[in-house]
Structure 1
Amino acid sequence: MSIRHLPASASADEICAALAEDGCVVVDNVVRPEVMDEVAHELRPFAEKTPLGPDDFSGRRTRRTGGLIARSPKSRELVMNPTVLGAVGKMLGHATSFQLHLTQIISIGPGEPAQTIHRDQWAFDFFPFPRGYEVQCNTIWAMTDFTAENGATRVIPGSNRFDDKLRFTEADTEPAEMTKGSVLFYTGSIYHGGGANRSKNIRTGINITYNVSWLRQEENQYLSVPLEIARTLPVDLLRLMGYRLGAYALGYVDDTRDPIEVVRPDLARNGFRPVLETQESASFLAAHPQASSDKSE
């Protein structure tokens, strides 16, 4: 099965439908190539200091540079891209909310062999999530063209419906070839891996991943982004980073305060209070009015 491509004008429904069916889809030319150059320029000092991976899975010829929100103002536009957030919101809409899971440049150097084929949701202690219940939605932005020769991410379309803990080789996969500025979407349940770089150039992509807010984030955004920087960020981005309630009572601070108030005390003074943001939560509270005042022991 080949990897489906959609135009940048594709709707959230179209992207989500492709993800539900195949577990992956490429959306072409979401941003101009120059945008990726700007991000690369901002992150170059950090990427150059990033050590190579410590093991075969991370890649001994691969550099993984994180902390993008703190280090690159331009990358925040990618994190908050409307096309991406619309599709992720549809894909993870069964949860009360979703959050930013990680931000990372992945630079695969020449001579790097193919990565072990895996599912990203195995990061959650290999918990066997029910088939069809997605807990994360991933994106990889092409900072350089992705080709089969230079290490394009390799996926097995449709493997989101496969059994868990299966083993595959690079030969079982398809390369997600795409041009600079395009985005590969893939679910946490898709079998995939970084491709072997058989070229003489570095293949670079930005991995920005989102997950349901009741699971722990892979990258600790609260420590990756210093508080003095966090206080300068838009509220919508702060909430996406995790400064929000993950469900009815997950992630509150001290006396059940909304965590946004720690970063933006002015919101508390203005009477800002957390709201439950899904119809399911609203319906639950309507049917169980005592839940709005109950506190767990």
Structure 2
Amino acid sequence: MAELARFTLDSDEEEIAEVVRIDGGAIIEDAIDLDLVERLEAELRPWIDRTPGGLDNFSGHNTTRTGALVARSHSCRELVMQRKIISMANRFLGPYTNKIQLHLTQVINIKTGQGTQPLHRDRLAWGGYIPDQIEPQFNTMWALTDFTDENGGTRIVPGSPGWDPERRAADDEKTQATMGAGSVLLYSGSVIHGGGENRSDADRTGINITYTLGWLRTEENQFLSCPPDVAKDLDPDLADLMGYSMGNYALGYYSDPSGMPGPVDLLTPEIVLGRKPGSKHSNSALLTPAE
């Protein structure tokens, strides 16, 4: 049976990114400490418990998917901005964009009795219109509980990013991302994967945080999930990653309907809320790409 490569936080970033390019996935073990795992669990559990199950077999009737994590959890903000992950996301997506953006934040909680999710490629969210040679996203699945063969550890098909779209994986080509709480599965938008069957007596809980090319529509609408009145208090780098900035020259500028003259290139929450912008946010900045 195929296996996923395993690394530590001290491993070479380019080596990890190259493995994800070719195999489609890799695991970094013990990527966060258990203190952060416990804080994430405490902050997110009330939201998880209020989330209904899915409406179809793909989303999973016994699976809950809780979003808007930047707005709901201070600890999730740390996870989104984890230095090594952001660096690898930039390495991985850099050939296709000059800026990455936050694509999705979601707790995926697989409950007892949930069957396997259909295998799929996440890149199909864009309808199959992205050319095969362009990799659209860099995904992470952070384990809040241990991921095991029995409780629904993510199923993945190493090597499948380069496969013909019609090819189907044989059983011996599939594996499961087994890992301890605090570890993270990295995987591409092109790899074949899916949630596993939970045959255990406890939930399998993971946090899915993904990054995509700055010029693509994101799966989670960050401006509604984390609106300006919440985003105004975020670290500027996190607000930038969420799209409160231009993705490229002339992509995502903002014109103030209340009368502020001209478009601005940095869509800061302060500007959206009608506060007086600083000089670096003036319309003169539109003459050069946003940093």
Q: Give your verdict on TM over 0.5.
A: yes
Give SS of 1:35's match. helix
* Cα contact 2:229–2:269 (8 A) shared by 1: no
Other-structure match for 2:99: 97
Alignment of 1:1-297 (within 5 A): 1-94=2-95, 95-131=97-133, 133-168=134-169, 172-254=173-255, 255-264=262-271, 268-272=277-281, 273=285, 276=289
What is the deviation of 1:176? 0.6
Q: Distance in 2 between matches of 1:50 and 1:169?
A: 34
Q: Evaluate the alpha carbon distance shift between residue 267 and residue 124 of structure 1 in structure 2; reply closer, same or farther with a 3 A threshold.
A: farther
Q: Distance in 1 between matches of 2:276 and 2:35?
A: 36
Give SS of 1:271's match. helix
Give SS of 1:93's match. helix
Q: Distance in 1 between matches of 2:111 and 2:136?
A: 30
Q: Distance in 1 between matches of 2:290 and 2:156?
A: 33
What is the deviation of 1:36? 1.2
- What letter is aligned with 2:235? P
Q: Evaluate the alpha carbon distance shift between residue 240 and residue 170 of structure 1 in structure 2; reply closer, same or farther with a 3 A threshold.
A: farther
Q: Evaluate the alpha carbon distance shift between residue 161 and residue 116 of structure 1 in structure 2; reply closer, same or farther with a 3 A threshold.
A: same
Q: Distance in 2 between matches of 1:175 and 1:210?
A: 22
* Cα contact 1:150–1:202 (8 A) shared by 2: yes
What is the deviation of 1:11? 2.9
* Cα contact 1:97–1:277 (8 A) shared by 2: no
What is the deviation of 1:172? 4.2
What is the deviation of 1:126? 2.4
* Cα contact 1:117–1:170 (8 A) shared by 2: no
Q: CA RMSD in A?
A: 1.9
Structure 1 moving runs of 4+ over 3 Å: 165-172, 261-268, 272-278
What is the deviation of 1:96? 1.4
What is the deviation of 1:14? 2.0
Q: Distance in 2 between matches of 1:267 and 1:12?
A: 41
Give SS of 1:14's match. helix
Structure 2, gaps ≥5 residues long: 256-261
> Cα deviations across residues 51-96 of structure 1 (Å, max 9, x unaligned)?
0111000001000000000000111000000011011010011211
Q: Distance in 2 between matches of 1:160 and 1:188?
A: 8
Name the stretch that deviates more: 252-261 or 48-57: 252-261
Q: Distance in 2 between matches of 1:188 and 1:26?
A: 16
Q: Evaluate the alpha carbon distance shift between residue 188 and residue 245 of structure 1 in structure 2; reply closer, same or farther with a 3 A threshold.
A: same
Name the stretch that deviates more: 145-154 or 5-14: 5-14
Name the stretch that deviates more: 182-191 or 253-262: 253-262
Report sequence identity in percent. Answer: 41
Q: Distance in 2 between matches of 1:250 and 1:163?
A: 33
What is the deviation of 1:277? 7.1
Other-structure match for 1:294: none
Q: Distance in 1 between matches of 2:264 and 2:192?
A: 39
Q: Evaluate the alpha carbon distance shift between residue 159 and residue 209 of structure 1 in structure 2; reply closer, same or farther with a 3 A threshold.
A: same
* Cα contact 2:246–2:290 (8 A) shared by 1: no
Matched pairs, number: 277
